[in-house]
Structure 1
Amino acid sequence: MPEPSSILQAAGMAVLALAGVAWLIGITRMLRRFRNEAIVRQFGPDAALSALPGPRETGPRLEAVELTPAERDAFAGLVRRLGDGH
């Protein structure tokens, strides 16, 4: 059976864990800042968002299907029935 750890050992482990998390957060923020600064230096101030697609110049292509006379009549009948509230 393992020996129970003292309060000082538990507090020391908690302090080390917090220090490790703080170090990891600090390194991550520093690397992000330097990466963004390098992108701006190399490509200009608008390059940081260059991975996002720009706005479309035109809308999506329109599609159309020719209906046969029987299909047009069936569609007209469906519209009439839906218009009547049935």
Structure 2
Amino acid sequence: MPDEHVSVLQSMGVVILALAAAVWIFGLISLARRGHFGPVPWPAGRSPRALLYQRRSAPYVEHTELSPAEQAAFAGLVRQLKGR
């Protein structure tokens, strides 16, 4: 039976502090497993080469048609820069 001199708020404070400590420890373990604190050894049966076979999506490439005047201006600019 709890001591008669301990208030309900003090008892709740101890419980909240214990829960906060548990959440903090869980967070540190999660960060350590994700590799934020250094390298983590590869699981048995897997190799680093497995990452090479992951599918990558190419970034979207925007394309705009140039008018003949714009093409001529760009060609002149390129010639000007090559002369330097």
TM-score bracket for this pair, using the shorter chain length: 0.3 to 0.5
TM-score (norm 1): 0.40
Q: Rg: which structure is higher?
A: 1
TM-score (norm 2): 0.41
Q: Relative contact order (alpha carbons < 8 A, sep ≥ 6): 1 or 2 greater? A: 1
